[in-house]
Amino acid sequence: MGHIGRRGLLAAAVGVLPMLAVTGDAAAAAPDRRRAPKPELRGMWLASVANRDWPSRAGLTADEQKAELLAHLDTAVRRRLNAVMFQVRPTADALWPSPYEPWSQYLTGVQGKDPGWDPLGTAVEEAHRRDLELHAWFNPYRVANHTDPSLLVASHPARVHPEWVLPYGGKLYYNPGLPEVRSFVQDAMMDAVQRYDIDAVHWDDYFYPYPVAGQVFNDDEAYARHGAGFPDRAAWRRDNTDRLVSEMAARIKAVKKDKKVRFGISPFGVWRNAATDPLGSQTRAGVQTYDDLHADTRKWVKEGWIDYIVPQLYWNIGFAAADYATLLPWWADVARGTSVHLYAGEALYKAGDPAQPEAWQDPAELSRHLTLGKSYAEVRGHVFFSAKEVAADRIGAMDRVVADHYPDRVKPPN
């Protein structure tokens, strides 16, 4: 996920209604005013890239890996969550036996080596056993966190098709401007969609890579070949990303007619600043997804291409450049009148981190985010980054969220 530090603070009061005791005949006559809890999504990201959350390190035995995975699912239940976004394609690889891409190196330490079990298959089965949704989280274009193709297993598609790959910012990426690349990455992801009873396809914020000062994403050749008819390269790049999203949406719906598999995306939290576009948010963010990642996230909601959106609102209430209390209502307005569910991405990883500003040292900061969310009907839930912090809970911020907002487990929205 993309993460940027922020600061600020706002206090919020939470009122508690007294409970009245009703006994005897009065109790029998009194109508039951209890209502079923309102459905909401309560999710956590479970990241495998660079062994961020799981497995804790490469090279564990199959039994050790499985035990760690089940412990994360049990933690989700204990925290009264109902969905896990499990990263199963972190770097053009797979956490299932894929015919398209190699086994992930984050399992065994060796790319392409069979770990001896099926993590995705097990995750789906065990999540459902615990009444958790399993959202399969894929990263479409990232190939490697280095720039040396020779470090990839010889059968890797990026080595078989070196013309598909571009180095940038110390990493390797598939070129989003090539139709054959878009087709291939969709095929690779659709393999999991077709074979497993997943509840959703989930993407994060990486489309075109985040800008790196002084470096050029050299897609000149692809632009020369495919960019005719566009006013500029940026418009062509946005169209490439639009095509990836709209095509994937159509393919998911086509193969899962018997069960609705949702399609959700978790973009960087700022579409555009208002100074750039009057439709944008009153923010001064250094990154704008429309301009820098060539991802028109607002359009995807308005067009209904996706089923849910989880903007990464990784800033505190009161942070001047990108205030959580400014961005949440902006996204609520975007979702209003559409069929797309809005969930807020929450920076649990910042809570108690001494490198973060003062607001993040307050265990109540995240709970205030959820309190604010209740003011907007479009906010249908929250997702926490990420599983390691959901378990460890450095300063009790997650405990506070659960105590204040999650008295019981609830179903996710349909």
Q: What is the DSSP string of 289-309?
A: HHHHS---HHHHHHHT-SSEE
Kindly report each contact of residues 111-118 with a partner whose C-beta sits within 8 Å and lies 24 or more positions away, as own/partner.
Answer: 111/152, 111/153, 111/156, 112/153, 112/155, 112/156, 115/62, 115/65, 116/62, 117/62, 117/65, 117/66
CB distance 9 to 365 below 8 Å: yes
* pLDDT at residue 283 in the model: 98
**DSSP-assigned letter for residue 91:** S
Residues 6+ apart with CB under 8 A from 255: 190, 193, 194
CB distance 58 to 150 below 8 Å: no
Give φ, ψ of 343 to 5 degrees: -120, 145
* pLDDT at residue 41 in the model: 98
Cα R_g (the chain), whole angstroms: 22
pLDDT tens track for 280-315: 999 999 999 999 999 999 999 999 999 999 999 999
CB distance 12 to 371 below 8 Å: yes
Report CA dihedral (319, 323, 325, 328) to the nearest 10 degrees.
Answer: -150
CATH hierarchy code of domain 43-405: 3.20.20.80
Mean pLDDT of 53-66: 98
CB distance 8 to 320 below 8 Å: yes
* pLDDT at residue 29 in the model: 41
pLDDT tens track for 247-270: 999 999 999 877 889 999 999 999
pLDDT tens track for 305-361: 999 999 999 999 999 999 999 999 999 999 999 999 999 999 999 999 999 999 999
Structure tokens at 321: 């450049």
CB distance 348 to 316 below 8 Å: no
**Which strands form 165-168's sheet, in the order they lie side by side?**
142-144, 171-174, 165-168
Give φ, ψ of 97 to 5 degrees: -75, 85
CB distance 56 to 68 below 8 Å: yes
Residue 121 and residue 365: Cα distance in Å, rounded?
36
Global pTM?
Answer: 0.92
Q: Report the candidate in 264, 268, 280, 380 with the shortest Cα–Cα distance to residue 315.
A: 268
* pLDDT at residue 2 in the model: 57
pLDDT tens track for 174-231: 999 999 999 999 999 999 999 999 999 999 999 999 999 999 999 999 999 999 999 9
For a pLDDT cut of 90, what percent of the chain falls above it?
A: 90
Mean pLDDT in the chain?
92
User: What ranges in 297-364 are assigned the alpha helix state H?
Assistant: 297-303, 324-335
- Binning pLDDT at 50, 70 and 90, where does residue 37 land? confident
Q: How far is CA 328 from each of CA 8, 262, 282, 290, rounded to the nearest angstrom?
A: 15, 22, 11, 18
Q: Report the candidate in 295, 380, 300, 299 with the shortest Cα–Cα distance to residue 332.
A: 380
List the Cα angle 357/312/254 in 5-degree steps.
165
Strand partners, 202: 137, 264
* pLDDT at residue 259 in the model: 82
pLDDT at 114 over 60: yes
Q: Report the candidate in 319, 320, 366, 318 with the shortest Cα–Cα distance to residue 344.
A: 366
Residue 57 and residue 51: Cα distance in Å, rounded?
6
* pLDDT at residue 27 in the model: 37
* pLDDT at residue 20 in the model: 29
**DSSP-assigned letter for residue 151:** G
CB distance 344 to 329 below 8 Å: no
- Strands 171-174, 165-168: pairing is antiparallel
